[in-house]
Structure 1
Amino acid sequence: MSKKDLYRPNVAMIIVSESYPHKKEIFLAQRNDLLDVWQFPQGGIDEGEEIVEALFRELKEEIGTDMVEVIAEFPEWISYDFPPRIAQSMRPFIGQTQRYFLVKLQEGATIDINTKHPEFCDYKFVTADEALSLSASFKKDVYASVINYFKEEGLL
């Protein structure tokens, strides 16, 4: 297995509220399996699945709606390693390589984290700086890179 194959292909999304761009508040969800870990929705890309297909499927699976408008895409894959406590359950992968999207909730979209297989127990909308301060340490560098890119583009 090559080093590239050790990273699980993944799609992740920074979701802004329907009040965007007037309010630049970002959706952040608290995992139900890791104490006090907040993150952006994300999920694996199935074999043969297009990235954008995975984006909309994961939105529906994780927050109960796919009623979003894609605003922008981070221009490259970005990776991180799993910490040891997570790596054991994710074998053979040692981390994830992700494609990030900035998406806006459409007017009337309803978030429901009580999905068929809930991953989150709570959510809130926060500033970009709050998202960075609440995120898991092993994801901070990735989050900072993506958020800073979207800020530099004038989107956040």
Structure 2
Amino acid sequence: MTGEDPYPHHRPNVGIALFNQDGQVWLGRREGTPGPWNWQLPQGGIDAGEDARTAALRELEEETGIPAKAVDIIGEIPGWIAYDYPPDVREDPRFHKKRHLGQKQRWFALRFHGSECDIDLASHAEVEFDAWRWGELAEIPGLIIPWKRAVYEQVVDAFKHVAKA
């Protein structure tokens, strides 16, 4: 193996599967995104020089208000999982800042041991989600926009041992 990046034209990103004590996963409804595929797990970019684990905790807090002290990292998918933006997304003027072909993601499973009072979707200036709920891990692929679905199927498979039996 040469150590070369298999996805040099994809934006580095993290994804978080946040599980409660009952094995249910946190689902967020994308703010301002019409249904039916407007639910997803928290995710976001890795800043230059930032460790993926640090990025996961930062993104979780930015998108949900949940502080790092309220979670434990309990799993990680090794390596990158990538998806490409479809042509209509890359050509849409609203996405002019997306200079990448897609995103490459590092995925983490976290256990939530805080209080639901810790969840504050408006805690950050850029609100990502306008609603949230606990759900079943297996339901996620059917809720996610189709061009991200293959990634979420891999996440479900990797973290099914953490989910509610």
TM-score category by the smaller chain?
Answer: 0.7 to 0.9
**Structure 1 residue 33: Cα displacement:** 3.3
1:124 alignment partner in structure 2 = 133
1:16 alignment partner in structure 2 = 19
1:107 alignment partner in structure 2 = 114
Which blocks of at least 5 consecutive residues in structure 2 are unaligned? none
**Structure 1 residue 48: Cα displacement:** 0.6
1:97 alignment partner in structure 2 = 104
1:142 alignment partner in structure 2 = 151
Q: TM-score, normalised by structure 2?
A: 0.83
> Could you tell me whether the CA contact under 8 Å between 1:26 and 1:131 is conserved in 2?
no
1:78 alignment partner in structure 2 = 81
How many residue pairs align between the two structures?
Answer: 149
Give the 3 Å change call, closer, same or farther, for CA 3–75 of structure 1 in structure 2.
Answer: closer
Amino acid at match of 1:42: Q
In structure 2, what is the Cα distance between the partners aligned to 1:73 and 1:48?
20
Query: Does the residue aligned with 1:47 lie in a helix, a strand or coil?
Result: coil
Amino acid at match of 1:143: Y
Query: Does the residue aligned with 1:53 lie in a helix, a strand or coil?
Result: helix
**Structure 1 residue 122: Cα displacement:** 0.8
In structure 1, what is the Cα distance between the partners aligned to 2:98 and 2:127?
22
Give the 3 Å change call, closer, same or farther, for CA 92–73 of structure 1 in structure 2.
Answer: same
In structure 2, what is the Cα distance between the partners aligned to 1:33 and 1:82?
19
1:6 alignment partner in structure 2 = 9
> Could you tell me whether the CA contact under 8 Å between 2:138 and 2:156 is conserved in 1?
no
> Could you tell me whether the CA contact under 8 Å between 2:15 and 2:105 is conserved in 1?
yes
**Structure 1 residue 38: Cα displacement:** 0.8
In structure 1, what is the Cα distance between the partners aligned to 2:6 and 2:78?
21
**Structure 1 residue 45: Cα displacement:** 0.3
CA RMSD of aligned residues (A): 1.7
Q: TM-score, normalised by structure 1?
A: 0.87
Percent identity, aligned pairs only, is: 34
Amino acid at match of 1:96: Q
Moved more, 101-110 or 120-129: 101-110
Give the 3 Å change call, closer, same or farther, for CA 133–139 of structure 1 in structure 2.
Answer: same
